[in-house]
Amino acid sequence: MDIPQLRYMIALAQELHFQRAAQKAHVAQPSLSQAIQKLEKELGVLLFERSAQGVRLTPDGKKFLSAAVTALDHLEKTARELRESSREVAGTVRVGVLPTICPYLMPEVITRLKRTAPRLTLELSEETTSILVEQIKEGKLDLGIAALPVNEKGLAEKTLWREPFYLAVAPNHPLAKKRTVTQKDISKEKVLVLKEGHCFGEQALDFCRIPRRDAQVLFQGSSLTSVMKLAALGEGVTLVPQMAVPKKSSGELKFIPFALKPPSREIGILWRLSAPLNNAERALADAAERTLKAL
C-alpha cells in the first residue's frame, strides 16, 4: 500500500460517495476506485460496502480507517516539522467552533492572526460538540474550540478561559432593576434555551435546575440570536455567555451578572493525541486565548 491509497480511502470514508471523494482527493474517479480495490485486495478484506443505496464502511473498514488516519498524522507531523525548521507560521488550519462561541470569538481571532501570522489560513466551520469530536477523530478537522471537559478517548484538550454567564431580560422586566441576580430569582421565570445538542443549553438548564421537558422551558431555539430576540420581546429570560454581551448597550436587553458563584463554562481547544500541535495550530490557540482574555 502507499500514501495515495490511504488518502483515497480516508476521503471515501468521509464522503461515502466515489465522485465526491475523487473531487476531494483531486483525482479521477476511476483512479480512486482502482486504488481502493487494489488496497482491499492487498489487505484481503472489504473496506467498503457498495450497494444501490450508496457506500458505507464495513467493520474492517472502520478499523483500518483509524489506523490510516493515525499513520497519515505521523507522516504529516514529520513533514510539518521539516517545513517548520525556519519557525515560520504558515499553512492551513481546519478548525471547528461551537455556534455559541464562533460568531463572538472568531472575527477577533482572525483579525489578530492577520497581524501576527499573515501567511496562516483558517478553514472555519460551526458545529455542535458531538460533531466536532467525530470530525477531529476522523481527521476532517485539526482543532476544535468547545466547552470543556469533553473527556474523549484519543483527544487532548487544553483550557483557555473560564467564561461567566449573564442573565438577559427585557428592559421592562421586573428583574431588570436588579444589579445582580441569583438562581432563586429565576426559579419561577419562563426560560428560553437552546435546543438539545447544544451544550450551552444544557449548562443553562443545569444551573436553573429545570428539566428540559418542564413547562417552565418556554422555547428551545437553534441559535443564541433567536433566543435573545425572544427575550428582548419579553417572552422569557435567558442565560448568555459573557462574550455575547455587547460592549455597548442597544437598549433591547438588560444583561445582569449573577451574584456569589456565577454559572460559567470552560472554553478550550481539542486535538488528536496522534497529531501534536504544530506552529500554525499553536498560533491559533494563542490568538484564541489572548482574544478570550481581552473579552
DSSP string, 132-143: HHHHHHTTS-SE
In the block, which residue shows the cell 417552565? 216
CB 144 within 8 A of CB 277: no
Domain boundary among 83, 101, 124: 83
**146 sits in which H/E element:** strand 143-148
Q: How confident is the model at residue 248 (pLDDT cuts 50, 70, 90)?
A: confident
Mean pLDDT along residues 230-239? 94
Number of domains, the chain:
3
User: Across all residues in the chain, what is the average pLDDT?
Assistant: 92
Which residues contact residue 116 at a Cβ distance below 8 angstroms, ignoring those fewer than 6 apart?
89, 283, 287
Examine the domain organization and report whether 135 and 277 are in the same domain.
yes
- pLDDT for 216 beyond 90: no
- Is residue 117 located within the same domain as residue 167? no
**Domain range spanning residue 10?**
3-83
Q: What are phi and psi of 287, to 5 degrees?
A: -65, -40
Q: What pLDDT, on a 0 to 100 scale, did the predictor assign at position 87?
A: 62
Same domain for 255 and 129: no
- Sign of the Cα pseudo-torsion (96, 101, 103, 105, in order): negative
Higher-pLDDT residue of 209, 64: 64
Name the residue type at position 80: R
Round to whole Å and give the CA distance between 290 and 160. 9
Residue after which a domain boundary falls, among 44, 59, 83: 83
At 166-205, the pLDDT tens digits run 999 999 999 999 999 999 999 889 999 998 878 888 998 8
The answer on 129 and 14 residing in a single domain is: no
- Of the three residues 20, 48, 83, the one that is the final residue of a domain is 83
Residues 79 and 99 in one domain: no
Q: How confident is the model at residue 11 (pLDDT cuts 50, 70, 90)?
A: very high
**Hey, is 166 helix, strand or coil?**
strand
Percentage of residues in the chain having pLDDT higher than 90: 76
Q: Which of 71, 75, 120, 49 is nearest to 286 (CA)?
A: 120
pLDDT at 237 exceeding the cut of 90: yes
pLDDT at 85: 57
Handedness of CA 134, 137, 138, 141 (dihedral sign): positive
Same domain, 176 and 260: yes
Residues 51 and 17 in one domain: yes
Radius of gyration of the chain (CA): 23
Q: Are 24 and 15 in contact (CB under 8 A)?
A: yes
Q: Do 103 and 242 fall into the same domain?
A: no
Single-letter residue type at 196: E
Q: Residue 260: CB partners within 8 Å, gap ≥ 6?
A: 182
Same domain, 54 and 17: yes
Give 61-97 pLDDT, tens digit per residue.
999 999 999 999 998 888 877 766 556 688 899 999 9
pLDDT digits (tens, 9 = 90+) for 146-167: 999 999 999 999 999 999 999 9
CATH number at residue 188: 3.40.190.10
C-alpha cell belonging to residue 269 = 481547544
Identify whether residues 153 and 186 lie together within a single domain: no
- Residues 278, 139, single domain; the answer is yes
What ranges make up the beta strands (E) of 170-285? 191-194, 217-221, 238-241, 254-257, 264-272
Do 151 and 96 have their domain in common?
yes
CATH number at residue 45: 1.10.10.10
